[in-house]
Each structure stands twice: as structure tokens, then as C-alpha cells.
Structure 1
Amino acid sequence: MHHSAPLVLLSLLCLLFGVDGGKVLVFPLDGSHWVNMKVLIEELHSRGHNVTVLRASNSWYIKEESPLYNSITIPNTGGFDEEFFGLLIGRLLKIKKEGNSIWNRIQLEYEIIMKFKSMHEDMLQMMDRILGDEKIMNSIQDAKYDVVLADPAAGGGAILAYKFNIPLVFNVRWTIHGEGHFAIAPSPLSYVPVPGVELTDKMSFLQRVKNVLTYFFTRFQIAVVAEPIFTSFCLKHFGPNVNYFSLFQDADIWLMRNDFTFEFPRPTMPNIVYMGGFQCKSAKPLPGDLEDFVQSSGEHGVIVMSLGTLITQLPQDITNDIAAAFAQIPQKVIWRYTGPRPVTLGNNTLLVDWLPQNDLLGHPQIKVFVAHGGTNGVQEAIYHGVPILGLPLVFDQPDNLFRMEAKGTAKILDIATLDRNVFLEALKEVLHNPFYRENMQRLSRLHHDQPMKPLDRAVFWIEFVMRNRGAPHLRTQFFRMSWIEYHSVDVILTLTATLFIFTFFIIYVIQYLFRVLFKKKVKCA
């Protein structure tokens, strides 16, 4: 009896910590996407799973050595770099200041498209090295992984899952084709806005025209950026019968990094699992010096400013205007910034190279979040109920902040036309108008009112796929249908033709009977 209790306790601990954990192969994307993937890796590791990360040798943030995972490093060059983002922001601001002409905008869009194409080409060259390296291929084969966890904004994870016949789970907001829903879920353009068009689910006729035209433009981008290089890669390695995008659409589970506190209502699918805000946590205590600074704000509170992982500074004239505006308010400011010290910086502003964003946003003294509109920051603001003053720059940021503005939780400024007075007035409005905070706190309550934490839900479904060797019962096969079959054009034409023939036959019979009867009447007369 005395020995039974320790044995039971040990058994429970074994179950709790997953001694018989599975093997997970992770194919991530660098930058801010890695921040999300690392949260899932940490949780999988804590539950006893063995995680291996495939990384490029020139990764920014994905370290080769980690207590959380083993790594397979692939020699690589190219891809995005920090200099590219600095130049891109400079070009974007210059174009906007020059009047945002159509020609200038097309030039910039073309440059971004070509950079993404270069990134995909670089990734596929890395995949060529993997598939051509017998040692790496044998190590993946021998490891007998239970699941591939991948970011579909890079195509390598889907390729490896197909090559080794391993179940596939996506950690997704974006694919190589754009927003994830458009890859697998019905997306009627009459009320589902294309990301980037900055529309809601309630569109006028002209807005629907704009939405449709934007959709076709994104299809053109895909045809230029992704289709040629992925098609030729699959032809080389898998033959002519494998459509590259069907490898993505065949994923067992899509862990979608948003939910309907952020997204407008739209159709979904059985294998889409929403985990918006999964990286958010209850705030932990701040470091002592930071807590002292926050508490020194008194009744006025604190403003937090951060432009995310990729962009840590702005052109100096804009920086000086923002700093001058901050200097005119009684609130304290914590600003993540790594550039030259602004000459107009006030005594109320603390510049830091890094800040614990989630913990700061969860502090009761925080009044406003000045942000660029990245998905992570927006979801943390929703989680903690902090209104946003938005300075969108590139990619999905304008659209993310537009959604928040449409829900009454944010105010957006055009950073290209920004000056200290415009910034100051907008900041005062978000600070003092209860409309923004009340709406954001309402969204926060909706987000928290769910039966399971998003991170627990995400890990449950990863483990579900591992236990059951996939989830084919949740996958629809619409993508294997032709456009004609999917929209039942053949059925509609067949039924229309049948109705036409039947109608013609009835008319013919009636005419025939009429002629017969008419002839009989004439003879009788």
C-alpha cells in the first residue's frame, strides 16, 4: 500500500509529460512567422514530443542550437534580408509623398513581386539540396516522423510531407497563394473581401467590382510568382501528375492564426481550426526597472510603441515628429527603437532595443498601443483589450488595421503624410475617446469567452493527427474537381438542355394534336 501511491503518481506524471511523445518535423518561415511557430514548438516540447526543425544556414531568428528542438541546417543564401525591408520602407514613403501615382505604385508592387519570386526560388533551391542529399533524406526517412508542422507561406513543408508520406499540419495565415482561406474554403467575392483591398463584408456595387478586380490581380501575381517555379519543381521531382498546390490543399489540419473577433464572417471548412491569439498569455511581472518606469506614470498611464520584428526604425524626420508629439503629453512612453536618438525626444519617453510586448500590453497602466499592424501585435492588443493607433507600412498591415478600424478599436494614420500635429491629435483621440477602449475590451471579452484556450486547441489537433496518422475524414476533395464540376456547370447545362428538349417536345406534341383535331373538324364540316 505504501508503494502504490508513488507508482500511481509516477504513472500520472508520465502521462502528463508525454513520455511516449511523438516525433514532429517542423518546416518554418523566418522572421515574425517564426515567433508564432516557436510558441507551438515550446508547447509540444513541454508535452514530451521530440521536435526537429529544418532551418536555412542564413536564418535570422531560427537558432541552430536550442533546448527545445534538434535542428537540420541546410546551406543557403538569398531570401529576404533586413536591408531589403529598410529600402522597401524608404521607397514606399517616397512614392506616397510624391503623390502615390499609379505608375510609381506599379513599380513598387513589381519590385515586391520579384522579391517574393526570388524568395520562392531560393527556397526551392534549398529543397533541391535536401532531396539530393542522401544523408539528410535517410535521416528523415529513418526518424519516422509522426507529423510535419509547416508554415505554408514557404512551400517546403508540403513537399516533404508528400515525399515521405507524413501527415501534414499547417500553422497558417498566409500560403504561397495568399490568405489561407482562399486556398481551401469557399470564398464568395460578394461578401468575402480579398486581403489588401480594405473592405468589409458589407460591400456596395462599386466595392464588389473593386473586390473582384483585386482578386484577379492577385491571381496574376500568383501566376508570376509561384506557379512557374513550383510547377517545374514538381515536374522534376514527382512527375506530371502532381499539381503543386494540391500538396498544400491535401494538408490534414489548417491551424488558422486568426478568429472571428478579427475576421469578418465567412465560410470555413471542417479541417480549419481557429487559434487566433494562441501566442498570447496572461501578463507576467515586468523587470524591475521597467515596472518602476510604468508606475511613475501615475494616473496618466503609459503608451507602448513597437513596429514589430522586421522594422525597428523609420526615416529620421518622421521619427523626430513622433518623438515631439510624445513629448507634449503627460503619459509615459515606452518605444522599441534602435535608430539614432531623436533630437526632439522628451523626458517622458524611454527608448528600448527590445520590450516584453505581451507583458506590457497586459499591464493595467497601458492606455494605447502604437503599432504597425502585424498580426501578432493586433492579436495581443485584442487579448489584453488595448486600443490601437495604427501606422501601417507594408504587406498585410494596412488590411489588419483596417479590420480593427472597422470594428471601432483603432485609428489609422498615413505614415507618409504624418507630422507631429497630426500624430498628436490622433493619439489624444484614442487616449481620451472611450469609444476605442470600450470596443476593444468588448472584442477582448469575446475572444476570452471560449471553452478551450487557442494554444491547447492547436496542440490537441496536432496530437490528434499524430495519433490517427492524419485526418482525411475532415478533408474535402473539391480541389481535385475541375472548375466546371465544382460550379456544376455541366449539370446546369445538362438540365437546361433537358428542359429545352422537353419543352420543345411538349410544344411539338401540342401542335401535332392541334393539327390533327383541326383537320377532323374541317372534314366533319
Structure 2
Amino acid sequence: MVRLICCCSALLLLTLMPGVCQAGNILVFPIEGSHWINMEIMLQALHARGHNLTVLRSSKSWYVKGNSSYYNTINVQVEKSINQEVITDVLAVVLEYEKGTLPWFNFLSVNIGMIGTFIDIHRIASGFVSAMIDDQGLIRTIKDSKFDLMLTDPAWASGAILAKYLNLPLVYNVRWLLAVDAQFAIAPSPLSYVPTVGSGNTDKMNFLQRVKNMLIHLVTQSQTYLVSELAYQETVDKYLGPGNSLHQLILNADIWLMRTDFIFDYPRPTLPNVVYMGGFQCKPAKPLPEHLEEFVQSSGEHGFIIMSLGTFVSELPPDMTSEIASAFAKLPQKVIWKHKGTRPATLGNNTLLVDWMPQNDLLGHPKIKLFVAHGGTNGVQEALYHGVPVVGLPVFFDQYDNLLRLRDRGAAKTLTLATMNKDSFLEAIEEVLKDPSYRTNMQRLSRLHRDKPMKPMDTAIFWIEFVMRHKGAPHLRAQSYRLPWYSYHSVDVFLFLSGAVLLVLFTVFILMRCLYTAVCKPKVKKE
């Protein structure tokens, strides 16, 4: 009996092993900044599953690390790169635009006023893929490696171009696509209830809000078209032939792993190859480093607050940091503030400045009371996962809309850079701390977010491995992206049917006229 059980166990193990241990060879084309942060978390999970990972990295990369224990790197020699200096210069200009009073007007100002800057950035990204393809030795090495698929973030289109050149199945780790929310590019998006990023709308819009939604949508679509044509299409024509459209290349991905879900986002139409994995980077908190644990424990019953403005915005103008420090100094809570640059003269003894913080672990600490955030997707989803209410200071792009989704659900309070001062900042913090509804609402969202049949990361890994097992997933791709706009919206069908109805009506009119003439024609008297 024991031998029979052992034999059955061994047979079961052998049966399960191919599905568990079959490793893949994945080529990764990342982009910089916070996008790399969540991509790196996904790579760690893939490495733990036994997959072999190779990351394409610019020789002048400022964020993607060249050495790692869980992925290999291919360094691509380039003359220009999107480095920290470029991003810092862009943000300085964006901050000036964002000091306006209306978030949607700020969004229009940034998207119209900085279109030339955005095109230049994407031209650098286009030059990156050109440098790779021109290096035939590098391309030969990549082809000889026999990769199973490419994993990329399509906020820059370079990965999609290279995947087509190498004829590799393509999986996106995606939130943004060039200049728009990626969902608007791939899925039906009725503007009557799907808010455009930058509009400041929720999914409940009156007439004027729908007008604003349409106008901002047209602006962002126009910007996407200009970026596609002016920054990438020449590269596409050169390496893939003039018959290829960048728009179709991008939409041809097998799986879109979307960094959002319908707890955080508003319900909307979607497609089979769009997989929602919002909060995939979130996980239970680990113990804090000793010095941070000692600091938060010293807060006593008041607890502590953390503040971070993300990867790109490490430093606000001195006048703003002074106002923020003054407000923090008046609180009984301890504060951990991720801040670089000059130490504010108004900084209180209750505030600790740090260059880096274990944000997820701090948000999961039992003494955490509040998160002061800029509204980046990673940060707000970690706050949602741990049930921590937010005071938001949006800076640019989608951050206002991210915070709006929390505010609309009663879990956040937002301020603008234009109106924020010591008093308004302190008032917002005290309101969220003293009104229990903010924490109650955020914890309700947290319970909804966690109540899923599979963890978001497990879902993402499954679909990546699905594409490797089946050499792609073309059966999940809708044919909508192959249709011209007039066919997609059935304009040609409407015109044809309208013409047919008009022809029938005209024919009936002529017949009736002829019949009337024949029956009612006056008789001519004979002489």
C-alpha cells in the first residue's frame, strides 16, 4: 500500500512538473522612472518562476540598473538618452503650467504647449530602437537567443517596433500609450461616461462636462497622432517597410496587462486580451529598518504620516517646501518625508527627511495615519491596498485623475499647487485625520481590492506564460484596429443605408407622381 501511494505521488508530481517548471526566455524592453519600478517587481516574480530574463538598456540609462542577480542586460550604445536631466527640465516647465487654477485647463496647456518637447523625447526613444537594429551584431545575438516573447511598456513605442522586427509575441505592462490612457486606444470608450484623463470628470457627467470630455479627448488623440507620425513613423518605414502603420503595430500586442482595476477605475467596456492587474506590485508589509521603526514607535498614540511625490519629483520649489514643513511642524504626528534638496528652515522636530523610504512597508504599518502623495498610480494603489487615506498634491499628467477616483469615493482630499499654502495644507491633513469616514471608505476599497479569485501578480504571470505556451494569443485580438475609422463607427454603413432609404423614397415618389399624372390628367375635348 505504501509503495502504491509513493508511485501514485511520483506519477502525479511528474504530471504537474511540466506546467510548473517550464521556463521561458523573455526579452524585456523597459522605460525609465516609476515605470521601471513596477516592471522590476514583475521581473522579480518571473525570475522566481524560473524564467530567463534579458533587459535591453540604454548605455546612458539613469534608472534601469545594469547589474542584477535576476536578469541579464544588453547595453545599447546611444548618443542621446532620456536621462534625469531631461526629465528634470521637463518637470520644471510642467510645474509652471500646473500652477493654474483649473486642472483640465492645465492639462490642455501642458499637452498643447509642450507638444514639441514630447515629440523630442519620443524621437530619442525612436533613436534607441534604431541604434539596436543598425547594430546587426546585436540583432544577431538577440535572434540567436531565441526569445519566446517580448515584455515592454508601450508608453514609448520602441518595444512594439522591435518586437515586429524580431517577429516576437508581444505582452504589454501598460497604463499609458504614447500620450493617452491605453484603454482609450484598445477598448471601446464611450465619452458619455468614460472620463478622459485630464478632464477632471467622473463617470457621471452633465452636458458641459461631456463637452469638455470630448474636447480633451480630441486634443490627446491629435497629440498621439503627431507623436506617432513625427517621432516614430520614419523609423517604422525604414526598418519594417512603408506599408506598416505604427498605430496598428502598437495595437497588435497579444496581451495588455493593464495596471488598474475596477475598484480603482470606473467600469467601462473592455476586450478579451486586456487583463486588469491593478495593485500587482502591492504586498503585505515587511518589518521596517531599525531606525525607522524606532522613529514611528516614538509617535505614540498619534501615529505617523508619510509624504512622497514619487520618482520624478524629488524636490519642489523652496517656497512650497517651506509651507509644507511649517504645516507638518504643527501636527502631533511624526512625519517621514521623502525629500531631496535644501532642508527647509521651517522643518519641525517631528519630521524626518529621507532620500528613500520603504513605502509599501510604511503604508502597511499599524501606526500609519495618512499618506501625502502626488497621485502616481503605484502610490495610490499601495495606499488603497493597505487602506490608508490620502491627501493629494497632484503635479502633472494623470495624477489629478488618479486622486479624483479616490476623492470621488470619499477616501482622499486633494489640493492644487496653485492654491496650496501652510494653512490650506494643514487644514486638509487635519480634516482627513479627524474625519473617520476617509479611513472607513479607504478600508472598504481595500477589502474589495483584496477579494479576488487570484492575486493580480499571479494573473499577470499566468497570461505571460499563456502567451509563451501558445506562441501568442491572436485569437483574443479584436479586429477593430484593422478597420478604418469610418468602418469602425459604421459611417459607411449608415451612409449606404441612408442612401438606400432615400433611393426607395425617391422611387416611390416618382411612381406616385406618374400614377397621379396618369389617373388625374384632364381629358382633352375633341373638336
| CA gap 1:211/1:105 in 2 versus in 1, 3 angstroms | closer
For normalisation by structure 2, the TM-score amounts to 0.92
1:58 and 2:35 correspond:
no
1:316 and 2:318 correspond:
yes
Tell me the amino acid that sits aligned with residue 48 of structure 1.
G
Quote the Cα distance in structure 1 between the aligned partners of 2:18 and 2:362.
31
Mapping 1:30-109, distance limit 5 Å: 30-94=32-96, 109=111
Question: Of 153, 156, 161, which residue of structure 2 is paired with 1:154?
Answer: 156
Question: Of 184, 187, 202, which residue of structure 1 is paired with 2:186?
Answer: 184
Quote the Cα distance in structure 2 between the aligned partners of 1:318 and 1:13.
62
The aligned residue for residue 221 of structure 2 is 219
Question: Of 348, 366, 375, which residue of structure 1 is paired with 2:368?
Answer: 366
Task: Compute the RMSD of aligned alpha carbons.
Answer: 2.8
Quote the Cα distance in structure 2 between the aligned partners of 1:95 and 1:466.
44
- Is contact 1:382–1:443 with CA below 8 Å preserved after alignment? yes
| CA gap 1:91/1:161 in 2 versus in 1, 3 angstroms | closer
Give a deviation string over 1:86-134, Cα, whole Å, max 9, x none. Answer: 4444444555668899999987555643332222111222211211112
The answer to which of 410-419 and 26-35 deviates more is: 410-419
| CA gap 1:95/1:163 in 2 versus in 1, 3 angstroms | closer
Give a deviation string over 1:181-213, Cα, whole Å, max 9, x none. Answer: 111111122221111111111111111111111
- Is contact 1:78–1:119 with CA below 8 Å preserved after alignment? no
Tell me the amino acid that sits aligned with residue 186 of structure 2.
I
The answer to which of 256-265 and 13-22 deviates more is: 13-22
| CA gap 1:142/1:98 in 2 versus in 1, 3 angstroms | closer
The answer to which of 314-323 and 382-391 deviates more is: 314-323
- Is contact 2:302–2:333 with CA below 8 Å preserved after alignment? yes
Mapping 1:19-418, distance limit 5 Å: 19-94=21-96, 109=111, 112-418=114-420
Unaligned 5+ residue runs, structure 2?
A: none
Secondary structure of the 1:200 match is coil
Quote the Cα distance in structure 2 between the aligned partners of 1:93 and 1:511.
70
Secondary structure of the 2:418 match is helix
Secondary structure of the 1:149 match is strand
Tell me the amino acid that sits aligned with residue 406 of structure 2.
M
Mapping 1:349-498, distance limit 5 Å: 349-498=351-500
Secondary structure of the 1:405 match is helix
Superposed displacement of residue 361, structure 1? 0.5
Give a deviation string over 1:37-94, Cα, whole Å, max 9, x none. Answer: 1111111110011111111111122111111111111012434333344444444455
Tell me the amino acid that sits aligned with residue 237 of structure 1.
Y
Tell me the amino acid that sits aligned with residue 382 of structure 1.
L
Tell me the amino acid that sits aligned with residue 74 of structure 1.
V
Secondary structure of the 1:127 match is helix
- Is contact 1:199–1:207 with CA below 8 Å preserved after alignment? yes
Quote the Cα distance in structure 1 between the aligned partners of 2:87 and 2:266.
30
| CA gap 1:405/1:79 in 2 versus in 1, 3 angstroms | farther
| CA gap 1:463/1:348 in 2 versus in 1, 3 angstroms | same
The answer to which of 97-106 and 39-48 deviates more is: 97-106
Tell me the amino acid that sits aligned with residue 370 of structure 2.
V
Quote the Cα distance in structure 1 between the aligned partners of 2:372 and 2:39.
25
Give a deviation string over 1:414-463, Cα, whole Å, max 9, x none. Answer: 12332211111111001111221121111111111111000000000000
Quote the Cα distance in structure 1 between the aligned partners of 2:8 and 2:239.
54
- Is contact 1:151–1:170 with CA below 8 Å preserved after alignment? yes
| CA gap 1:106/1:199 in 2 versus in 1, 3 angstroms | closer
Quote the Cα distance in structure 2 between the aligned partners of 1:103 and 1:303.
31
- Is contact 1:18–1:48 with CA below 8 Å preserved after alignment? no
For normalisation by structure 1, the TM-score amounts to 0.93
Give a deviation string over 1:291-314, Cα, whole Å, max 9, x none. Answer: 222222222111111111112221
| CA gap 1:167/1:104 in 2 versus in 1, 3 angstroms | closer
- Is contact 1:313–1:338 with CA below 8 Å preserved after alignment? yes
Quote the Cα distance in structure 2 between the aligned partners of 1:493 and 1:210.
28
Count of aligned pairs: 523
- Is contact 1:305–1:336 with CA below 8 Å preserved after alignment? yes
Quote the Cα distance in structure 1 between the aligned partners of 2:90 and 2:218.
25
Point out 4+ residue stretches in structure 1 off by more than 6 angstroms.
Answer: 98-107, 519-523
Quote the Cα distance in structure 1 between the aligned partners of 2:108 and 2:254.
37
Tell me the amino acid that sits aligned with residue 190 of structure 1.
S
Tell me the amino acid that sits aligned with residue 34 of structure 1.
W
Superposed displacement of residue 272, structure 1? 0.2
Tell me the amino acid that sits aligned with residue 37 of structure 2.
V
- Is contact 1:179–1:195 with CA below 8 Å preserved after alignment? yes
- Is contact 2:260–2:279 with CA below 8 Å preserved after alignment? yes
| CA gap 1:475/1:288 in 2 versus in 1, 3 angstroms | same
Tell me the amino acid that sits aligned with residue 483 of structure 1.
W
Superposed displacement of residue 224, structure 1? 3.1
Superposed displacement of residue 34, structure 1? 0.4
- Is contact 1:381–1:388 with CA below 8 Å preserved after alignment? yes
Secondary structure of the 1:500 match is helix
Superposed displacement of residue 522, structure 1? 11
The answer to which of 128-137 and 82-91 deviates more is: 82-91
Superposed displacement of residue 387, structure 1? 0.7
- Is contact 2:95–2:396 with CA below 8 Å preserved after alignment? no
Quote the Cα distance in structure 2 between the aligned partners of 1:184 and 1:245.
11
Give a deviation string over 1:362-386, Cα, whole Å, max 9, x none. Answer: 1121111000111000100111111
Tell me the amino acid that sits aligned with residue 476 of structure 2.
L
- Is contact 2:119–2:230 with CA below 8 Å preserved after alignment? no
